[in-house]
Each structure stands twice: as C-alpha cells, then as structure tokens.
Chain A
C-alpha cells in the first residue's frame, strides 16, 4: 500500500518565520504534489514535481517554494510565513502519467 508521510500533523509558527513542511513517499513515485485545503475552497495546487530537482508552479505558488533533492522527498517552504498561509497542507504522490494521486494525512499549519 502506498504510504505518503508528512512530518508533522500540527505546526504553529510565527509571522515572518521560514517554515519547512516535509513529505516522504515510499513507492518510488516520480510525481509529487503540494496542495492547501481551506474550508469552502477545496484543495488548491501549490507546486508539483515530476522528477528530482524539477518543479512546476501550480495555481497558487506565491509565497511558497519547493525542494526535491531526492526522489522520495518533497519539501514545501514558506519563505516568510504570513497569517493568510494558515491552512491544512496536503502532500500527494503518483506513480506516473495518468495515475491516481495518493495523499498524506496533512499538516495543519497555524501562523500567529
């Protein structure tokens, strides 16, 4: 069974801090994704990666960056956290073209 592990379930940070959210998958998947989930807005794509060191912007990349140094790990970085980045962050991976995505449990991030 596919396992997508996000390093923290809950995280509290302060405005202006640099925040790292980590995600690891154990299925050797090429593709990895970061979404944020907000009530009434559904999930929105922030960034994705289709290979090591490759990244593509999603629908709402502003204020975020990503890093993929190893195939199994995909990090989301909030360069300077702001209160409007308080949200649930979901990581996902997929095994290739036209394959379903598998999601982690999410990280609920609060920026104070």
Chain B
C-alpha cells in the first residue's frame, strides 16, 4: 500500500514570501500525484496534477510542483504568496491504473497561514 508524508503540519509566512511545501510518497510502481487545497469553509479543490510527461507541472493561482522520481517527491511551490493563499494543502497519490479505479491516499495536510 502507498503512503504520503507531508513535512510540515503548520506553516506561517508573510505576504510575498516564497513557499515550498514538501511531499514524499512511498510506492513501488507508477503513480499519479496531486495537490489539493481547502480554503476555509470550502470544498477540496484540485490545485495541480501529475500523470506523466514534464515533471514540472503548473496549476492554478500561480502554484507549481516538481515530480522528482528518484526522491519520491512532489513538492509544491509558489514564488510569492498572498493572504488569500491561507488554506490547508493536501498532497495525494494514487497508483497509475490501467483499468478500474483506485482511491487517493492523502498526506495529513499542511495548514498554511499567510500574514498580511
């Protein structure tokens, strides 16, 4: 079974600071990788995803993530955060599936607070 580890449970930054949230997974095969965000009082939304191809993926709201296969990592980055980025961020993985479906395995989440 796969597992996901998010390095930081709570992160506090000032506006305009750069952000990097760490995510490592354990799984022996090919995976699909995701970052989801949950703004206060809202449902989980997809930030970005990696299925194959270019390991540097760009998502919504200026976020990007880099898949480093040798390190089993999929870190989330943003060069300059805004107050509106305050939210909980979840990294998730699922085995690449040739058929059927598989649920997502989530990390425990990182609560990000941006101070004005």
Contact = CB atoms under 8 A, between A and B. Distances in A.
Range for the number of chain A residues in contact with chain B = 20 to 34
A43 B106 contact: yes
B50 to A, nearest CB: 11
A16 B98 CA distance: 41
Nearest to B42: A105
B104 to A, nearest CB: 6
A94 interface: yes
Interface residues of B, number: 28
A48 B97 CA distance: 15
B97 A97 contact: yes
A31 B101 contact: yes
Interface of B: 1, 9, 32, 34, 36, 42-46, 49, 51, 90, 92, 96-109
Interface of A: 30-31, 33, 35, 40-45, 48-50, 56, 58-59, 90, 92, 94, 97-98, 100-106
